[in-house]
Structures are given as C-alpha cells and as structure tokens.
C-alpha cells in the first residue's frame, strides 16, 4: 500500500488559517505559564497540546528527501558564495546562498549564514 503524500504548502496554509483562532489562547497560556500562574495538570497540558495540534491541521507531514545540489561558486574578497538548492516539495526547489569565510573547509567550520529566496522570488 502506498503512503499518502501531503502537500506541505497546503498543509501550512490550512494550519495558519486554523491556528489564527488559537493565537490568543496560546499567548494567554504562555503569559500565565511565564508568570507562574499556569496551575495546569499534566492532563490539561496534554489536552492543550492535542487541541493546538488539531487546530494546526493535524500531525506534521513526514519530511521528504532534500536532494541538495551545489551550483556556482563566487569568490569574493575574504569569503565565497556557494549557490545551493534543495527540494521543499516534490518538484519545488528552494534556492539558497551559503556564505563562507576564506579558510573554511569541511574540516574547519565557522559560523555560516544561509540566505535564500522563496518561490515568489523574494529574499529570505
């Protein structure tokens, strides 16, 4: 039997619409909890998590293969930019830029910054 494929974009859109009503409740619960006023039992906390998950659209979809690809490398003064892409959905690639300071290799890691664009072409 084949596994049902979930479209993450539709899942997230539905989750956002379904969770708008939950934002106030979550915010209030977080504020109460941080103020030490929660007083919730473990059963109440479990019920809250279950309701929140339900309002977010159900269980999160299983991740798919990323199938990363490396593209052009641009050498700049003091760093290099590596163009990468990966699959977010089947047939939906996300482009990213990996900025690496000079002297960084697989054996010598430093802080890395990743920038990308969404499917609408806006910079992330």
Q: pTM for the full model?
A: 0.44
Confidence label for 35 from pLDDT (cuts 50, 70 and 90)? very low
Residue found by looking up tokens 């990363």 in the block: 68
Average pLDDT, rounded, for the chain: 74
What pLDDT does 88 receive? 87
Give pairs for 19-22: CB < 8 Å, separation 24+: 19/52, 19/55, 19/56, 21/55, 22/51, 22/52, 22/55, 22/56
| Beta-ladder partners of 13 | none
- What tokens appear for 35 in the block? 């103020």
- Of 24, 91, 94, 14, the residue nearest 59 (C-alpha): 14
Q: Which two tokens stand for residue 121?
A: 């072409």
76-114: pLDDT as tens digits: 999 999 999 999 888 889 999 999 898 877 666 545 555
Among 14-18, 58-62, 80-84, 94-98, which is the least confidently predicted range?
14-18
């Amino acid at each position: 039997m084949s596994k049902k494929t979930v479209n993450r974009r539709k899942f997230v859109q539905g989750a956002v619409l379904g969770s708008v009503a939950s934002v106030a409740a979550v915010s209030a619960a977080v504020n109460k909890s941080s103020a030490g006023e929660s007083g919730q039992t473990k059963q109440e906390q479990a019920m809250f998590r279950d309701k929140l998950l339900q309002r977010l659209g159900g269980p999160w979809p299983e991740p798919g293969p990323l199938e990363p690809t490396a593209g052009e490398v641009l050498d700049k003064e003091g760093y290099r930019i590596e163009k990468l892409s990966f699959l977010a959905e089947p047939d939906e690639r996300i482009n990213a830029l990996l900025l690496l300071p000079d002297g960084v290799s697989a054996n010598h890691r430093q802080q890395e910054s990743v920038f990308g664009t969404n499917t609408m072409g806006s910079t992330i």
